[in-house]
C-alpha cells in the first residue's frame, strides 16, 4: 500500500474511530474516577492517566486498537504504596507515589528499548491467574465497604474481607440518611453492572453500563435540585472531589524518598504489574483485531513508559493497556490508534464541560463498578477453569492467590513461580531434567518442503518458553508450521496455552499450525492446555485423554467416514511386517489408525538397529489392502537410496514409452514382466502428476510412506486422498487383466 493510500484510508476511517473513541470515553470516565479513588489517589489522577496515555500512546505506540489508561491491576499496588510511603498522610503519600510512578515509567522505557517485552513470558500462567484473582479480591474487599457508604473501612485485605458481614449489618441498621441513600445508589449501580449484559435492548446497550450509572446519579442530583423540596441527601464527603480549576491544580511528584527501601519496592511492584497487565492486554487485544495485525510489543511498552512518566509528572496514575476498554473499542469498530486519541480528547471535553455535574457522583456508585470488576477478576468460574486444566494448576493458583493476599504482590508472584517449578519437578520426579537443560538452546527450526518445522528437545516450560517463542514468531502466520515435541520429555501448561494462541493466530491468517509428538504423553486432564509428560509407554486404557492431534484425526475420520482407533495392537495389522521396509525394522506399536474396508492409515513406532545403535522412530504410513495379486515392487523417486537397500540386486526397471517416468522414478522388483504390465499409462500418469511417496507392494497390498516421521493432519489428509485416488486405478486395471 502506498503512503497516499494509507492516508486516504486513515481519513475514511476517522468517523468510525471517532464514534468508537466516544463510546470508550463513556466508560473511561467513571472507571478513571473509580480506579483512582480505589487506589487512594485523587479522582482526577485517573483521568489524567487516561488523557495522557490516550494521546501519547496513540502517537508513538506500537499496537493498533488498544486503549490505554489507568489499570485495574495497579489499584492494590498504588493503594499499598500511598499508604506505606505516606505513613498515615495520604496526600503526602500520593506525592511520593507519583515519584515512584515516574521512575517505573522510566524503567518501562528501558525495558522496551532492551526488547524485554518477552520478560512477561517467564511468568507461568496459573501463577499470573492467581495473582490477578488476588488483585480482584483486594479491590472487592475494599470497595464493598465503600459501596455501602462506608468510605473509611481500613485494614489488610483479609481483615476487610472479614468485615464484610459486619458491614452489611451496619448498613442495614444505619440511621444516617446520607449513608442510606449512598448505599442505595451503590447497590442499584451494582445491579446495573450485573444485569446490563442480560438486557438485550439495542437502545439500552448504546450507552455502556458505567455511563448509565453516572447518568442516573446526575439525574438523581437534578431531581433533588429542581423538583424535590429536600436537599441532595448524600453527604459531601461521599461525593467525588474534583479540584475547582481542573487545568491548573496539578500535583507534582516528591522525589524525597527515592533511596528508601519502601520506595524501591513500590517502584518494582508498580513496574511489574504495569508491564504484566499491559503485556497480557496487548496479546489479548491482538486476538480481537479484525485486521489481524501484530502489535509491536516493545514499541508499545516504550510508549506506555513515556506516557507513564508524563502522567506521573502531571499528577496522574500509571498508563497501562487495558483489556476491557480495548474490547469495547474493537466492538465499536475502532480500527486504528486514533480511537485511543479521540477517547482522550472526549475525556478532556467531559471534564471541562461537565465538571460541576460530575462532582455530584457519589463514591458508592463508582465503588459498585469496581466491586463488579473485582468479582470478575476473582470469579469462581476462573477458579473452575484452572481446576479443569489440572489439579496441580489449581494448587499453584491457590498458593499464589493466598500468598499475594496475605503478603504482597512481589512475594506472591515469586512464590507462584517457585511453586510452579516445584510442581514440575514433583510431576517429573526429576530435577536434573530441568537443571541440566535450562540454558541449552533446545529449539531448532528449519524450512522443508515449504513448511516450517520446529523441533523441541528436553523440556519446554515457562522457564525456556522464550526460546521457542522467538522461533515461532519468525514464521509468517499464513504459512504451515509443525511443532514437534517427540524429542521432548515434558511440556507445561503455559507453553500449551501459548501454542494454542498461536494455532488460533495461524488459523485466522490462513496458515496452519500443528503440534505433533504429544500422543505418547500422559496428560493430567483432558483439557487441551493440560501439562504433558512423556511416558514412553502408551496406556491402552479406554478413557485416555486424546491429544489435539488425535481429536483432529477423529475429525478427519468423520469427514472421510472412516473409522478411527487411537490405539491398536500390532497383531491387527499383521500384513505390515511382510513388507521389505520392515524386514530390518522391528515394529513396536501401531496407533492412531484411520481405516475403511481396504485402507489403513496409521502411526507406527519401530526400532532400527539394536542395543547401542537402537533408535526409535515414529512415522505415519498408509496401507492399502488389495485382494488381487500384485507383483512385488518398490517405487521411489530416483536417488532416494535410503529406502531400497533391502532390494539391492534388482535394477531400475524402465517402462516403455515413459522415459520421463523412468528418469524420475526408481522402480525395482523381481518379476520385471509383471511389473511392466502392472504399470499402465494411467498409473504412470498418476505417479507423475502427484506428490512423491515411497511405495512398496507385495502380494498383500501396498504400503505408502511419506517422510519418515509423524505426519501432520494436513499431510494425513493428503495421504488419505492419494490412497483413495490410487485405489480405483489399481483395482480397475486388475479387473481388465482378469477378464
**CA angle, residues 24, 316, 400, in degrees to nearest 5:** 80
Are residues 687 and 665 in contact, defined by beta-carbon separation less than 8 angstroms?
A: yes
- SS3 sequence of 266-309: HHHHHHHHHHHHHHHHHHHHHHHCCCCCCCCHHHHHHHHHHHHH
Least distance in angstroms from the C-beta of 474 to another protein: 5
Least distance in angstroms from the C-beta of 506 to another protein: 13
Among 15, 219, 476, 510, binds another protein (CB under 8 A): 476
Least distance in angstroms from the C-beta of 675 to another protein: 23
Of 20-28, 274-282, 451-459, 568-576, the segment contacting another protein by CB under 8 A is: 451-459
Of 635 and 730, nearer to another protein (C-beta) is 635
Residue 231 burial (CB count, 10 A): 9
Of 89 and 608, nearer to another protein (C-beta) is 608
Among 470, 539, 563, 677, binds another protein (CB under 8 A): 470
Residues within window 103-122 making contact with another protein, judged by CB under 8 A: 115
Rounded to whole angstroms, the maximal C-alpha distance in the chain is 112
Q: Is 648 a binder of another protein (CB under 8 A)?
A: no
Of 239 and 499, nearer to another protein (C-beta) is 499
Among 1, 612, 657, 736, binds another protein (CB under 8 A): 612
Least distance in angstroms from the C-beta of 294 to another protein: 5
Q: Is 641 a binder of another protein (CB under 8 A)?
A: yes
Least distance in angstroms from the C-beta of 486 to another protein: 9
Least distance in angstroms from the C-beta of 441 to another protein: 3
| Region for 26 from its dihedrals, namely left if φ exceeds 0, alpha if ψ lies in -120 to 50, beta otherwise | alpha
Q: Hey, what's the cell of 372? A: 463488579
Of 209-217, 310-318, 588-596, 607-615, the segment contacting another protein by CB under 8 A is: 607-615
The helix (run of H) or strand (run of E) holding residue 604 is: strand 599-608
Are residues 225 and 42 in contact, defined by beta-carbon separation less than 8 angstroms?
A: no
Q: Is 296 a binder of another protein (CB under 8 A)?
A: yes
Of 134-142, 287-295, 621-629, 658-666, the segment contacting another protein by CB under 8 A is: 287-295
Least distance in angstroms from the C-beta of 280 to another protein: 17
What is the C-alpha to C-alpha distance for residues 73 and 71, in angstroms, rounded to an integer? 6
Least distance in angstroms from the C-beta of 380 to another protein: 37
Q: Is 473 a binder of another protein (CB under 8 A)?
A: yes
Of 14-22, 192-200, 338-346, 444-452, the segment contacting another protein by CB under 8 A is: 444-452
Least distance in angstroms from the C-beta of 636 to another protein: 12
What burial class does residue 544 get, using C-beta atoms within 10 Å of its C-beta: 0-12 exposed, 13-18 middle, 19+ buried? middle
Q: Is 435 a binder of another protein (CB under 8 A)?
A: yes
Residues within window 155-184 making contact with another protein, judged by CB under 8 A: none
What burial class does residue 123 get, using C-beta atoms within 10 Å of its C-beta: 0-12 exposed, 13-18 middle, 19+ buried? buried
Q: Is 445 a binder of another protein (CB under 8 A)?
A: yes
**CA angle, residues 393, 464, 62, in degrees to nearest 5:** 95
Least distance in angstroms from the C-beta of 295 to another protein: 6
Of 227 and 612, nearer to another protein (C-beta) is 612
Q: Hey, what's the cell of 483? A: 511443532
Q: Is 441 a binder of another protein (CB under 8 A)?
A: yes
Q: Is 708 a binder of another protein (CB under 8 A)?
A: yes
For residue 708, what is the DSSP state? S
Among 321, 403, 455, 668, binds another protein (CB under 8 A): 455
CA distances 706 to 193, 618, 683, 712, Å, are 57, 12, 19, 11
Helices (H), 378-462: 380-389, 391-406, 409-428, 432-437
Among 376, 388, 457, 646, binds another protein (CB under 8 A): 457
Task: Identify any residues that bridge with 695 across adjacent strands, giving them in sequence order.
Answer: 635, 704
Helices (H), 148-208: 157-162, 164-172, 177-196, 202-206
What is the C-alpha to C-alpha distance for residues 436 and 587, in angstroms, rounded to an integer? 32
Of 473 and 688, nearer to another protein (C-beta) is 473
Least distance in angstroms from the C-beta of 210 to another protein: 32
Residues within window 45-64 making contact with another protein, judged by CB under 8 A: 62
Are residues 493 and 461 in contact, defined by beta-carbon separation less than 8 angstroms?
A: no
Count of residues near another protein by CB under 8 A: 44
Give Rg (Cα) of the chain.
Answer: 33
Least distance in angstroms from the C-beta of 478 to another protein: 11
Report the interhelical angle of 90-113 vs 261-288 (nearest 10°).
60
Of 172 and 444, nearer to another protein (C-beta) is 444
**CA angle, residues 451, 455, 458, in degrees to nearest 5:** 170
Of 85-93, 374-382, 442-450, 714-722, the segment contacting another protein by CB under 8 A is: 442-450
Nearby residues of 611 by Cβ (< 8 Å), 6 or more positions away = none
Of 639 and 673, nearer to another protein (C-beta) is 639
Q: Is 484 a binder of another protein (CB under 8 A)?
A: yes
What is the C-alpha to C-alpha distance for residues 139 and 141, in angstroms, rounded to an integer? 6
Among 126, 295, 464, 592, binds another protein (CB under 8 A): 295
Of 380 and 441, nearer to another protein (C-beta) is 441
Are residues 698 and 670 in contact, defined by beta-carbon separation less than 8 angstroms?
A: no
Are residues 587 and 576 in contact, defined by beta-carbon separation less than 8 angstroms?
A: yes
- Binding residues for another protein, rule: CB under 8 A, are 62, 115, 293-299, 432, 435-436, 440-448, 453, 455, 457, 470-471, 473-474, 476, 484, 487, 608-609, 611-613, 615, 617, 639-642, 645, 708
Amino acid at each position: 500500500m502506498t503512503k497516499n493510500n494509507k492516508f486516504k484510508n486513515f481519513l475514511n476511517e476517522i468517523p468510525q474511530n471517532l464514534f468508537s473513541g466516544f463510546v470508550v470515553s463513556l466508560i473511561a470516565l467513571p472507571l478513571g474516577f473509580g480506579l483512582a479513588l480505589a487506589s487512594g489517589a485523587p479522582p482526577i489522577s485517573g483521568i489524567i492517566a487516561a488523557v495522557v496515555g490516550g494521546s501519547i500512546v496513540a502517537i508513538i505506540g506500537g499496537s493498533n486498537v488498544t486503549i490505554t489508561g489507568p489499570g485495574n491491576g495497579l489499584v492494590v499496588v498504588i493503594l499499598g504504596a500511598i499508604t506505606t510511603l505516606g505513613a498515615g498522610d495520604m496526600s503526602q503519600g500520593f506525592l511520593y507515589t507519583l515519584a515512584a510512578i515516574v521512575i517505573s515509567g522510566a524503567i518501562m522505557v528501558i525495558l522496551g528499548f532492551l526488547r524485554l517485552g518477552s520478560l512477561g513470558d517467564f511468568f507461568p500462567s496459573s501463577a499470573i491467574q492467581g495473582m490477578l484473582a488476588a488483585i480482584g479480591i483486594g479491590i472487592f474487599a475494599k470497595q464493598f465497604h465503600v459501596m455501602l457508604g462506608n468510605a473509611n473501612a481500613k485494614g489488610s485485605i483479609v481483615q476487610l474481607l472479614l468485615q464484610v458481614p459486619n458491614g452489611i449489618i451496619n448498613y442495614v441498621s444505619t440511621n444516617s440518611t446520607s449513608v442510606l441513600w449512598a448505599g442505595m445508589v451503590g447497590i442499584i449501580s451494582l445491579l446495573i453492572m450485573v444485569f446490563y449484559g442480560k438486557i438485550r435492548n439495542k437502545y439500552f446497550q448504546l450507552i455502556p453500563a458505567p455511563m448509565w450509572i453516572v447518568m442516573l446519579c446526575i439525574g438523581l442530583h437534578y431531581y433533588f435540585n429542581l423538583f424535590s423540596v429536600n436537599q441532595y441527601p448524600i453527604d459531601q464527603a461521599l461525593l467525588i472531589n474534583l479540584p475547582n480549576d481542573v487545568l491548573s491544580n496539578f500535583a507534582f511528584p516528591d522525589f524525597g524518598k527515592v533511596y528508601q527501601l519502601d520506595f524501591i519496592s513500590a517502584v518494582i511492584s508498580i513496574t511489574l504489574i504495569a508491564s504484566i497487565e499491559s503485556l497480557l492486554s496487548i496479546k489479548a487485544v491482538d486476538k480481537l483485531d479484525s485486521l489481524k495485525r501484530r502489535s509491536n510489543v516493545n514499541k508499545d511498552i516504550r510508549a506506555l513508559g513515556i506516557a507513564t512518566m508524563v502522567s506521573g509528572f502531571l499528577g496522574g496514575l500509571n498508563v497501562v493497556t487495558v483489556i476491557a476498554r480495548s474490547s469495547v473499542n474493537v466492538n465499536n469498530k475502532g480500527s486504528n490508534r486514533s480511537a485511543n486519541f479521540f477517547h482522550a480528547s472526549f475525556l478532556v471535553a467531559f471534564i471541562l464541560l461537565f465538571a460541576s455535574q460530575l462532582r455530584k457522583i457519589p463514591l458508592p456508585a463508582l465503588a459498585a463498578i469496581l466491586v463488579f470488576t473485582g468479582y470478575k477478576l476473582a470469579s469462581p468460574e476462573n477458579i473452575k477453569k484452572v481446576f479443569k486444566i489440572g489439579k496441580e494448576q489449581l494448587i499453584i493458583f491457590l498458593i499464589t492467590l493466598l500468598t499475594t493476599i496475605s503478603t504482597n504482590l512481589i512475594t506472591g508472584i515469586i512464590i507462584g513461580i517457585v511453586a510452579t517449578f516445584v510442581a514440575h519437578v514433583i510431576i517429573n520426579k526429576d530435577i536434573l531434567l530441568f537443571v541440566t537443560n535450562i540454558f541449552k538452546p533446545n529449539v531448532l527450526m528449519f524450512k522443508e518442503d515449504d513448511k516450517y518445522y520446529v523441533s523441541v528437545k528436553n523440556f519446554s516450560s515457562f522457564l525456556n518458553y522464550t526460546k521457542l517463542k522467538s522461533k515461532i514468531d519468525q514464521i509468517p502466520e499464513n504459512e504451515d508450521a509443525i511443532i514437534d515435541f517427540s524429542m521432548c520429555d515434558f511440556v507445561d501448561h503455559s507453553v500449551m496455552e501459548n501454542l494454542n494462541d498461536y494455532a488460533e493466530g495461524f488459523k485466522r491468517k490462513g496458515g496452519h499450525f500443528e503440534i505433533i509428538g504429544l500422543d505418547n504423553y500422559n496428560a493430567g486432564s483432558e483439557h487441551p492446555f493440560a501439562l504433558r509428560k512423556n511416558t514412553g509407554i502408551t496406556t491402552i486404557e479406554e478413557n485416555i485423554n486424546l491429544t489435539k492431534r488425535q481429536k483432529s484425526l477423529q475429525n478427519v475420520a468423520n469427514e472421510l467416514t472412516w473409522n478411527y482407533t487411537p490405539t491398536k495392537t500390532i497383531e491387527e495389522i499383521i500384513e505390515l511386517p511382510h513388507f521389505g521396509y520392515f524386514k530390518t525394522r522391528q515394529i513396536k506399536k501401531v496407533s492412531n489408525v484411520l481405516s475403511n474396508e481396504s485402507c489403513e492409515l496409521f502411526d507406527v513406532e519401530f526400532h532400527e538397529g539394536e542395543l547401542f545403535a537402537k533408535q526409535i522412530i515414529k512415522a505415519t504410513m498408509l496401507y492399502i489392502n488389495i485382494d488381487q495379486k500384485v507383483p512385488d515392487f518398490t517405487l521411489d523417486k530416483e536417488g532416494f537410496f535410503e529406502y531400497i537397500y533391502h532390494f539391492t540386486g534388482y535394477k531400475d526397471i524402465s517402462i516403455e514409452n515413459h522415459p520421463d517416468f523412468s528418469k524420475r522414478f526408481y522402480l525395482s522388483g523381481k518379476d520385471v514382466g509383471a511389473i511392466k504390465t502392472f504399470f499402465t499409462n494411467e498409473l504412470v500418469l498418476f505417479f507423475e502428476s502427484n506428490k512423491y511417496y515411497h511405495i512398496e507392494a507385495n502380494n498383500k497390498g501396498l504400503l505408502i510412506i511419506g517422510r519418515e516421521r509423524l505426519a501432520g493432519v494436513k499431510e494425513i489428509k493428503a495421504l488419505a486422498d492419494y490412497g483413495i485416488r490410487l485405489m480405483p486405478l489399481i483395482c480397475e486395471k486388475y479387473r481388465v487383466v482378469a477378464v
